[in-house]
């Protein structure tokens, strides 16, 4: 279908996930980029073991392996593993807190999102990461933010089934279309996509 990067989320069973990671690498070959998001589910010992599994499978990054309150453990994990650790997605503090993560060497790549300070906050974190020679990976499907951040690699889109993949190739009202794995963002005002007003009205609780 033209897509060349895929991200897995943890199931809760590290051994099963490790087997899946190795099997996925065999299935897609060496040219596709693979990433793994543990959603903060592991303790340090499990995170270290699992990170080595991902290294063996040639994954691009290892995302949020542990809960994001123990920076010393994150720093130890970064030092122990070769695979880049992507973190600071769910912690509080926006760009002020991100400075501490970078200073403590508790991650190798930073997460940015409009949920942390909006577009302004996300760009502040991206610029901070860039000044340290670090990648700033955009959380979620936000093509315009991705296009504005040169040290970002991919635009993430949560895919549930093959029908959804096919829909990504169809242009809707202001929606970006995926062509050969790439998205061209709209030059319309705002972020491009137009609201589905019929759906908004259908779900409305109160109109004032």
Enumerate the domain spans of the chain.
Answer: 5-203
CATH class, range 5-203: alpha beta
Cβ count within 10 A of residue 178: 20
| pLDDT at site 173 | 47
Q: What is the C-alpha to C-alpha distance for residues 105 and 95, in angstroms, rounded to an integer?
A: 15
Render each residue's pLDDT in the chain as its tens digit; 208 residues.
678 899 999 999 999 999 999 999 999 999 999 999 999 999 999 999 999 999 999 999 999 999 999 999 999 999 999 999 999 999 988 888 999 999 999 999 999 999 888 999 999 999 999 999 999 999 988 889 999 999 999 999 887 777 766 666 555 545 667 788 888 887 777 776 677 788 888 989 988 8
Q: What is the largest CA-CA distance in the chain?
A: 57
Q: What is the C-alpha to C-alpha distance for residues 193 and 144, in angstroms, rounded to an integer?
A: 11
What is the residue-wise DSSP string for 8-46?
A: EE--S-HHHHHHHHHHHHHHH-SSSEEEEE-TT---HHH
pTM, two decimal places = 0.86
Q: Can you tell me whether residue 110 is helix, strand or coil?
A: strand
| pLDDT at site 180 | 82
């Amino acid at each position: 279908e033209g897509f060349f990067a895929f991200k897995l989320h943890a199931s809760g069973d590290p051994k099963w996930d490790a087997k899946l990671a190795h099997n996925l690498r065999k299935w897609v070959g060496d040219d596709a980029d693979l990433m793994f998001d543990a959603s903060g589910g592991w303790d340090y010992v499990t995170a270290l073991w699992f990170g080595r599994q991902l290294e063996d499978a040639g994954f691009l990054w290892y995302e949020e392996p542990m809960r994001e309150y123990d920076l010393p453990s994150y720093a130890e994990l970064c030092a122990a593993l070769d695979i880049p650790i992507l973190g600071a997605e769910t912690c509080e503090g926006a760009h002020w807190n991100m400075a501490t993560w970078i200073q403590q060497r508790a991650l190798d790549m930073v997460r940015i999102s409009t949920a942390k300070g909006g577009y302004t906050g996300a760009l502040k974190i991206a610029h901070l990461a860039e000044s340290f020679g670090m990648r700033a990976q955009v959380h979620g499907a936000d093509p315009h933010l991705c296009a504005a951040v040169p040290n970002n690699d991919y635009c993430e889109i949560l895919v549930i089934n093959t029908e959804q993949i096919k829909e990504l190739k169809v242009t809707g009202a202001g929606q970006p279309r995926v062509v050969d794995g790439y998205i061209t963002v709209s030059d319309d005002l705002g972020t491009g996509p137009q609201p589905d007003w019929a759906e908004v009205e259908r779900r409305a609780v109160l109109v004032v």
